[in-house]
Chains A and B, each alone.
Chain A
Amino acid sequence: MREIKAALITEKVKQLFLKISYEIGDDVLCGLRAGKDKEISPIGKAILEEIIANDTLAAKEGMAVCQDTGMAVVFAEVGQEVHITEGDFQQAINQGVREAYAEGYLRKSVVSDPLFDRKNTQDNTPAVIYTDIVPGDSVKLAVTAKGFGSENMSRLKMLTPADGQQGVLDFIVETVSLAGPNPCPPVVVGVCVGGTMDKAAQLAKKATMRRLGSLNPDARYQALEEKALEQINASGIGPGGLGGLTTALAVHIDWYPTHIAGLPVAVNICCHAVRHGTVEI
């Protein structure tokens, strides 16, 4: 049994959220530059240049890339040989979020009761935490700070098996098309096909966190990703939604086994400020 102190988890979570809030990953910057080079709309090109300048400046100045510093989402894989000591695992994560958002001048955007009170919790907690117990003696955390301009444009549909590949493709493209300029294009599109309603949504979020430029291990899904990306970028929406070729930087499709009667599809849209990171303890 390996002992890990809760305070160490807090510290790692804090450092990770500070880092991703200020520094856009090189994978995303690379995608933005490639988009800029290909963009034929003058306004679109100027917007991509502005975004790249912004991301560079944010890292240099130690300022949040976007004022919407998001809701903290944490995917935790906890080794079954690990014993968390001197504290509670979930509280340790929330404490890390609390400290990062307070000390890092990040915006606190979480309200407690969503319908009646809508009272700001003042520390951006609670985080949304998914925990898997896995073999091993380490704790792996994959986190994202998820902005809601794009979260609000996400959709889920329970397709029927007869809808098949075309149904999935159409739903992905339709979702981005309906979102138009609202989710701050160019976007990254996370998709999950299968599972249950909730599982599809969860894995679609995780799919937005996949490294840009990484290939889907399944050639069939990779082909579907390419087809979806091509159709999305033919929509004309473009950077900032003001017209152009660069509407999405990537489409990432994950899947999960599902029921004989079902074909759930969840599409989670992420803005160009894809803030994701991982740490292993």
Chain B
Amino acid sequence: MRKGEDTMAEAKRIQTPLTKEKVAGLTAGDRVLISGTIYTGRDAAHKRLVALLEEGKELPLDLRDQIIYYVGPAPAPPGKAIGSAGPTSSYRMDRYAPLLIEKGLTGMIGKGLRGPAVIEAMKAHQAVYFAATGGAAVVIAQSIISQEIIAYEDLGTEAIHRLEVKDFPVIVAIDSHGNNLYETGRKEYQNKK
């Protein structure tokens, strides 16, 4: 670290399951390293999950205190646990996320903006939205120890995978109080040189 340089605070370590108590301790801007089990899901899987809930049927996974990572990984090359696995844009899941949060989901990992309905649901049910760095797919893949498809195998990369992760690097983008780093961070550096 160079002298006088403005440095980032030490990362917080979190072990899943992500209980609401743990969520409450997270603030927008926190660097977090996640270890434990997380699940993948993106457009097509979310559509199916919400369709099941609307039909009153059971989900293929218990969402309580769980984290969903918005990702469609690349195929694993030989000798690797997973292929490149960076986040996809989260706003495409906005239509589905509030209902999943209501059903117990406490964490989402993705990149980019979230709509007001998602943020309201996060505040009402104590959930947190983490940003992973878009395009840091190889670095992120190194923190994924193993993967297993648990539902919707026919969706290929969009199937729901259970991932075991160690020190998966994220930043709290929107916390359970609605603090939004996408807004405050942007404002802070507007018209700066």
Contact = CB atoms under 8 A, between A and B. Distances in A.
A63 B188 CA distance: 36
B169 A105 contact: no
Interface stretch (A195-203, A212-220, A237-245): A237-245
Contact of A42 (B6, B76, B113, B138): B6
Interface stretch (A11-19, A47-55, A256-264): A47-55
Interface stretch (A64-72, A79-87, A165-173): A64-72
Contact of B113 (A106, A180, A234): A180
A272 B111 CA distance: 14
A108 B44 CA distance: 15
B6 A240 contact: no
Contacts of A237: 186
Contacts of B137: 54, 58, 63-67
Nearest to B132: A240
Contacts of B8: 42-43, 46
B186 A271 contact: no
Contact of A238 (B89, B112, B136, B186): B186
B73 interface: yes
A25 interface: no
Given A54-B139, A181-B113, A243 B186 contact: yes
Main secondary structure, interface of A, reads loop
Main secondary structure, interface of B, reads loop
Interface string B125-142: 000000101111111011
Contact of B173 (A65, A184, A242): A242
A100 B185 CA distance: 39
A244 B185 contact: yes
**By CB atoms of chain B within 10 A, which of A42, A64, A108 has the most?**
A64
Interface string B144-159: 0000000000001100
A161 interface: no
B122 interface: no
B5 to A, nearest CB: 8
B50 to A, nearest CB: 16
B57 interface: no
B117 to A, nearest CB: 17
B40 to A, nearest CB: 11
Interface in B35-82: 44, 71-77, 80
Contact of A63 (B72, B80, B193): B80
Interface residues of A, number: 50
Interface string B171-193: 10100000001101111111111
A67 B137 CA distance: 6
Given A63-B80, A243-B181, A245-B193, A42 B7 contact: yes
A236 interface: yes
B113 A67 contact: no
A40 to B, nearest CB: 7
**By CB atoms of chain B within 10 A, which of A107, A234, A244 has the most?**
A107
B186 A182 contact: no
Contacts of A109: 72, 157
Nearest to A38: B193
A134 interface: no
A59 to B, nearest CB: 9
Given A120-B156, A236-B188, A243-B189, A64 B84 contact: yes
A46 to B, nearest CB: 6
B189 A41 contact: yes
B85 to A, nearest CB: 5
A47 B140 CA distance: 12
A181 B73 contact: no
A238 B189 contact: yes
21 contacts: A43-B185, A50-B169, A58-B84, A66-B135, A67-B83, A68-B86, A107-B157, A149-B112, A184-B134, A234-B191, A236-B185, A236-B191, A237-B186, A238-B185, A238-B189, A240-B111, A240-B133, A240-B134, A242-B182, A243-B185, A244-B189
Interface of B: 6-8, 29, 31, 44, 71-77, 80, 83-86, 88-89, 91, 111-113, 131, 133-139, 141-142, 156-157, 169, 171, 173, 181-182, 184-193
